[in-house]
Amino acid sequence: MAPVLDPMIGRYVRLKIDGVDHRIYFEEAGPEDGGGIPLVCLHTAGADGRQYRHLMADPEVTSRFRVLAFDMPWHGKSTPPDGWEKTEYRLTTASYTAAIRAFCRALELDRPVVMGCSIGGRIVLNLAIAHAAEFRALIALEAADFQQPWYDTAWLHRPDVHGGEVCAALVSGLIAPQGPPASRHETLWMYMQGGPGVFKGDLYFYRVDGDLREKVKTIDTKACPLYLLTGEYDFSCTAEDTLRTAAQIPGAQVTIMNHVGHFPMSEHPAKFREYILPVLAQIF
């Protein structure tokens, strides 16, 4: 019997981010005859590119798009840079932006679409602010210029609390109750697998360094279309947060997704599909 294979293929790419050597893992799937509009997908804080596996297995998407999802440095199968053991991981607006642009350059992607979720959504807003001309379109999932914190990140990395379990337990409430249980728990499993302090380090960008209030007003959607989609059950980035952000950006298209929370692509792939296909249909 022939093996049953998922369509995506995983590889490692060597590249420099801010002058530092990295070995980055990514998966991709696209049209059978090659080509396709590059669509780079950014995972949430403390997780990895597997969150997009359903999108990469959807022929209606991959018939027209070359979907690529890379694991951020320190995440998933991307190893941290040499000497990591002597540093405390902290993601910043600058380092995150540099990683995305380095990946797109290394893969020689021609004006890719970038879609990111949560911290990935926030950095997509920064790409729209600072580098719009490099991209064909930008899609921000669960994104806002700023969100009110709802817990103390100090609990995410300490020896007397299991990091993976507490990360998963905290974010479990961001998943909508209507999604399939298997998808809920697959989403949480990725959080349980994160390296020590990595989720906390990502949230440094989210909470401290990545405040985009005022800056989003400078986004020019004529230079690059911007789409914002947020799940109604996301109480971290609420619908109100996204609507407030979109209201400051002329031309931004905003959608509030029913029966979805903070992880639309992995917590409820079938529902997310209903919302993302009409967005992708507008991109050429």
Q: Please, which residue, 84 or 150, has the CB nearer to another protein?
A: 150
Instruction: State both tokens at 57.
Output: 């297995």
Residue 151 CB, nearest approach to another protein (Å) = 6
Kindly state the DSSP code that residue 72 receives in the 8-state scheme: P
Report the distance separating Cα 133 and Cα 113, nearest Å.
11
Residue 240 sits at φ, ψ, to 5 deg, of -65, -40
Q: Please, which residue, 53 or 184, has the CB nearer to another protein?
A: 184
DSSP string, 108-158: T-SS-EEEEETHHHHHHHHHHHH-GGG-SEEEEES--S-----S-GGGGSB
Residue 228 CB, nearest approach to another protein (Å) = 17
Report the distance separating Cα 239 and Cα 235, nearest Å.
8
Q: Which of 138, 141, 52, 130 is closest to 97 using CA atoms?
A: 130
Q: Residues with Cβ < 8 Å from 161, sequence gap 6 or more?
A: 155
Report the distance separating Cα 23 and Cα 158, nearest Å.
28
Residue 270 CB, nearest approach to another protein (Å) = 17
Q: Please, which residue, 178 or 282, has the CB nearer to another protein?
A: 178
Q: Which residues would be at the binding site for another protein (CB under 8 A)? A: 148, 150-151, 155, 160-162, 165-166, 168-170, 172-174, 176-178, 232-233, 235, 238-239
Residue 237 CB, nearest approach to another protein (Å) = 12
Going from the C-alpha of 24 to that of each of 73, 95, 278, the distances in angstroms are: 7, 15, 31
Cβ atoms of 137 and 283 closer than 8 Å: yes
Q: Please, which residue, 169 or 243, has the CB nearer to another protein?
A: 169
Q: Please, which residue, 173 or 278, has the CB nearer to another protein?
A: 173
Residue 48 CB, nearest approach to another protein (Å) = 21
Instruction: State both tokens at 45.
Output: 């804080």
Q: Which of 156, 189, 158 is closest to 267 using CA atoms?
A: 189
Residue 114 CB, nearest approach to another protein (Å) = 27
Q: Please, which residue, 176 or 276, has the CB nearer to another protein?
A: 176
Q: Please, which residue, 129 or 174, has the CB nearer to another protein?
A: 174
CA torsion, points 141, 80, 88, 147, in degrees to nearest 10? 0
Residue 175 CB, nearest approach to another protein (Å) = 9
Residue 161 CB, nearest approach to another protein (Å) = 5
Q: Please, which residue, 87 or 178, has the CB nearer to another protein?
A: 178
